[in-house]
């Protein structure tokens, strides 16, 4: 059995702006196409990354143009790992309550489902906050993993 080898496809930095979400989507789609994911898996990846980047702009940076989003795509065998890094306000997913996904129409609230949807669309979702250290500004690190079905 051959060892699993990580291969960095690319790392790119994008302005934290809504008009750059399509460029980030194209970037991760290119990596997903290298593994030949099915269309529904590519769609799930695109949606999860779009939701994550929108949350970075809205919550970590509190508005557009306040910082960059670094995106790294790695392939290991039949698995795509997407790492999103920002230098915004720390995010603690344990502070986000589980959403009620089956409320009555009149009881629905806008927002609050992004984390839930990311976890439904990806095989693994991990958050980490690296505090500033020396010249490293630290920041939020979100890792999204999608495995290719056989």
Q: What is the DSSP string of 56-94?
A: IIIIISSSTTSSEEEEEEEEETTEEEEEEEE-SS---GG
CATH number given to 7-147: 3.30.565.10
Mean pLDDT across the stretch 10-19?
97
Report pTM.
Answer: 0.87
Check residue 51 and give its pLDDT. 96
Mean pLDDT across the stretch 11-28?
97
Sheet holding 139-147, edge to edge: 7-15, 68-76, 79-86, 139-147, 124-130
């Amino acid at each position: 059995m051959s060892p699993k080898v990580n291969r960095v496809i690319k790392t790119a930095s994008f302005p934290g702006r809504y008009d750059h979400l399509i460029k980030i989507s194209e970037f991760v789609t290119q990596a997903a196409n290298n593994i030949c994911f099915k269309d529904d898996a590519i769609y799930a990846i695109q949606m999860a990354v779009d939701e994550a980047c929108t949350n970075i702009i809205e919550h970590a940076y509190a508005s557009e143009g306040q910082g960059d989003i670094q995106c790294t795509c790695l392939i290991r065998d039949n698995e795509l790992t997407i790492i999103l890094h920002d230098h915004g306000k720390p995010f603690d997913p344990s502070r986000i309550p589980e959403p009620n996904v089956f409320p009555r129409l009149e009881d629905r609230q806008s927002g609050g489902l992004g984390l839930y949807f990311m976890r439904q669309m990806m095989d693994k979702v991990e958050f980490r906050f690296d505090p500033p250290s020396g010249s490293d500004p630290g920041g939020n690190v979100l890792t999204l993993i999608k495995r290719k079905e056989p």
